[in-house]
Amino acid sequence: MRFLFLIVFFSVLHSTSIFAQSRRVIDLKDGWKFSKGNIEKASQKDFDDTTWETVTVPHDWAIYGPFDKEIDKQTVAIEQNGEKTATEKTGRTGALPYIGDGWYRKAFKLSELNKNEKVLLTFDGAMSQPKVYVNGKKVGEWNYGYNYFYFDITDVLETENVLAVHLTNQGESSRWYPGAGLYRKVRVIVKNKESIDHWGTFITTPMVSKDIAKINVKTNISGNNLKLITDIFDTEGNKVASNETTTIFQNQFEQNIPVNNPSLWSPESPYLYTAISKLYKNNQLIDEVKTRFGIRYIAYEANKGFSLNGQVRKFKGVCLHHDLGPLGAAINTSALRRQLRILKDMGVDAIRSSHNMPSLEQLDLCDEMGFMFLAESFDEWAKAKVKNGYHQFFETDVEKDLVNLIHATRNHPCIVMWSSGNEVPDQFGAAGVKRAKYLQDVFHREDPTRPVTVGMDRVDQTMKSGFGALLDVPGLNYRLHLYEEAFEKFPQGFILGSETASTVSSRGVYKFPVEKAKMKQYDDFQCSSYDLEYCSWSNVPDDDFVLQDDKPWVIGEFVWTGFDYLGEPTPYDTKWPSRSSYFGINDLAGLPKDRFYLYRSRWNTKDETLHILPHWNWEGREGETTPVFVYTSYNSAELFINGKSMGVQKKNHDSPQNRYRLMWMDVKYEPGTVKVVAFDDDGNPTEEKEIHTAGKPYKIVLEPEKQILKANGEDLAFVRVSVVDKNGIPCPKATNQLNFKVSGEGIYRAACNGDATSLELFHLPTMKLFSGQLVVLVQASKQPGDIKLNVSGKGLKKGVIHLKSIKN
């Protein structure tokens, strides 16, 4: 069986430019009024909302807490985790107050419309079940909180308008923290009635070569006797191609435009073109849409695997939930960019949105920064995982939800695969096979250029039923022992690790003795960062590495997860106060755990990696066995403790446990200096690193990830905060309570220390260090100028840093 997909994509309109005689795009961001509760008559235009809280959108009402073990306490046996007996889960959805009703109201003005204009109200997502009113009249509703949707509100508009949105979040509706509110953008689009349809353009490349690319542009329009001109520009702004047509097939223009000597999009070179589509009537411009796109082609072939632009490669991917740690579910582009920058340094080249439809901002950034994308849709089909999950809406909503997902995002070059579901209980039985085929057919009908997968955890069942055989790409979630059998039985000729590892760890926390362990628990509700602990259904990273490296028919992996996320605190989901995950390669603050360097040593092929663990502050363990691990891209290294050699270790290809890590298991702790010297393949010393035993905390150190911000009221500076002793050595076990103050043209936005058990609220300007570190988020105002962050703590020399915000 062979699947070949040739495609070029563009990003749907995301500019707020006003095109003459065409359209206006207005972000409804500031000046919203918000209140919780099911408030009678709040939908009416003249309702008095003056006492309500004033917020900006995107907004997540639940992230401000408090954390409470009684919130969404679920008594359940998690079938996906192999549980047979129901137990009380206190932090499964983050223990944050997302449940209940919320109202948003926004007044906005529009200049008087002429008879040829129409107005669309668009939502990139609303959590959840929004009912939308304009001037007291209901204009529509939508159920799925992760979906994009829009309504035509032309007929209910006045010069001065009031938009009201009622949201309802049910308890037991999610397996992780879903967030709450208008957590993605809301916009108004004013355009002519005769115009390019919303999400109405689809660009593919039926043929791509080194010399030429054939770009097929299908543009759906409303109107008659129209002309469409499409101009294509390269990244420097030079026009490289153009086409004009007046031929309409039903309501669609179709253009074939050659681009000579195309620059192809890839993670290594994410080249983007710009297309400007201009619609004319009687030679008068009536609509204009600017888009970005990238030229590339993909293929999935039996016994060969996945290729991009003719080059076979394997996905080096991670799964990401949608929350942004201390910001909650509210979308913020600079926070998303930071996540991707961290992952890029790790060597990641692919993202799986799990288990939700991605934000448009995330896809834009993946286009720009070079990440392939597996866009997922649902965590449930018709059979329930949680009491009030998507199964409530599957029969009535699934097709329209999929159509909106595909139409809104199908033109992004980053997307190389769709997923119609994750670990759905429908994997059992004939009905599930039919549902899988139905959903895959919807994807193929709306976008015949990409394959479809499902994250399967019941692989033994899907091998028997035909469920796995019908998928374009068979995705296995864990089940490493079934890879060989699945490859033999499935006809596709390849296997994707759609979800892998689920290793658990807490940043900077190390447990003894050091041993491989499944579902291990400790009194402090932390997991060991020796990276040998995992879940009942999963494994350590090394087990996946072996399959990825040794089996050419395994086409890559998506590790669970790139970052910790709120909710699902396995293996402590029955323990309070655990309220966020331990799966992340980076913690909830975006600080790398030791595992980051294990993956980096394999995936980042441009930069060398040399990392030592654990830290070397073990007062009371003198003379006790304290193993030292080194994660490195080098094949061998020598370890020294206070100048004494502990010997040379070499990676052993024949031993999975020693193939990817260098481990000195018999080291006895003594305070001082740990040094590792790495050797090149010829045995020559080439790089070294040291860690030292620290004294008492003395001074606060601030390290901003950037110092120049955009003065747009949204841009964020992430500042790493740590403490050092009098000699400048980091104190890895410090837990000092710190206080934060921001002055100038910025505000304190949040802080996070990455501790899954912390009940401190992110938005309050105080927090304890965890394993010696935390991160402070400083947000720029809308005015350019200087910003100062002051961090203080009892008995510590304070830290001060100066930032600057500038005009866009």
d(CA 744, CA 749): 14
267: preceding bond cis by omega (within 30 degrees): no
Q: Which of 423, 424, 663 is nearest to 538 (CA)?
A: 423
**Catalytic residue IDs:** 423, 499
- Say if residues 563 and 320 touch (Cβ distance below 8 Å): yes
Q: Which 3-state string (H, E, C) describes 553-605?
A: CEEEEEEECCECCECCCCCCCCCCCCCECCCCCECCCCCECHHHHHHHHHHCC
d(CA 518, CA 535): 5
Residue 622, token pair as written in the block: 């003198």
163, containing H or E segment:
strand 160-169
Q: Which amino acid appears at position 776 of this protein?
A: V
Q: Which of 186, 176, 62 is nearest to 130 (CA)?
A: 186
Q: Which amino acid appears at position 121 of this protein?
A: L
Local structure of 762: helix, strand or coil = coil
Q: Which of 640, 642, 660 is nearest to 652 (CA)?
A: 660
Sheet strands side by side (includes 248-249): 195-208, 212-222, 252-260, 248-249
| Count of residues making up the chain | 808
Bridge partners, 723 (sequence order): 700
Q: Quickly tell me which residue has 């979040």 as its tokens.
A: 169
Q: Which of 96, 108, 112, 110 is nearest to 64 (CA)?
A: 96
Strands 131-134 and 137-141: antiparallel
- Say if residues 272 and 367 touch (Cβ distance below 8 Å): yes
Q: Quickly tell me which residue has 């509210």 as its tokens.
A: 330
Q: Which 3-state string (H, E, C) describes 443-492?
A: HHHHCCCCCEEEEECCHHHHHHHCHHHHCCEEEEECCHHHHHHHHHHCCC
- Say if residues 657 and 666 touch (Cβ distance below 8 Å): no
Burial 740-771 (b: 16+ CB within 10 A, else e): bebebbbebbbbbbbbbbbebbbeeeebbbbb
d(CA 671, CA 753): 26
| DSSP per-residue string spanning 166-186 | EEEE-TT--SS----BS-S-E
| DSSP per-residue string spanning 4-70 | EEEEEEEEPP---PPPTTS-EEEE--S-EEEEES--TTTTSTT---TTSEEE-SS--GGGG----TT
d(CA 131, CA 124): 14
C-alpha distances (whole Å) from 540 to each of 418, 484, 493 are 27, 19, 26
d(CA 147, CA 123): 8
Cα dihedral across residues 450, 452, 455, 461: positive or negative: negative
- Say if residues 617 and 731 touch (Cβ distance below 8 Å): yes
- Say if residues 591 and 720 touch (Cβ distance below 8 Å): yes
Residue 355, token pair as written in the block: 């288990």
